[in-house]
Amino acid sequence: MALGEGILKLLNKEYPASTIRETRYRDLDLAFKTDKEGRPVLLFIGKKIAPGKIRGERYVRSIVNTSDGKVKDHWEKKGKAT
């Protein structure tokens, strides 16, 4: 499953630092962990099976700050989440 425009729009926002947030997007449950700057870096997407547990896919975000002050990022699928 590739991350769509709507999900990426949610993930490009800033949230409270070092927290885990749960939300829904259409018929999918999402849980993501933020870094110390409040940017989502770990994402679980799928169906919620219990409080705090999602069965589906796991993604990790690589963030690179360039020398000219811009931020480049990339979401990489890491496999199944149970």
Question: Which pTM value belongs to this model?
Answer: 0.87
Nearest CA to 63 out of 40, 33, 31, 29 is that of 40
Residue 68 CB contacts under 8 Å (≥ 6 apart), including other chains:
none
Q: For the chain, what is the domain count?
A: 1
pLDDT confidence tier of residue 1, bands split at 50, 70 and 90 = low
**Per-residue pLDDT tens for 25-60?**
999 999 999 999 999 999 999 999 988 789 999 999
CA angle 12, 7, 76 (to 5 degrees): 80
Residue 4 CB contacts under 8 Å (≥ 6 apart), including other chains:
none
Instruction: Indicate the helix (H) or strand (E) that contains 13.
Output: none
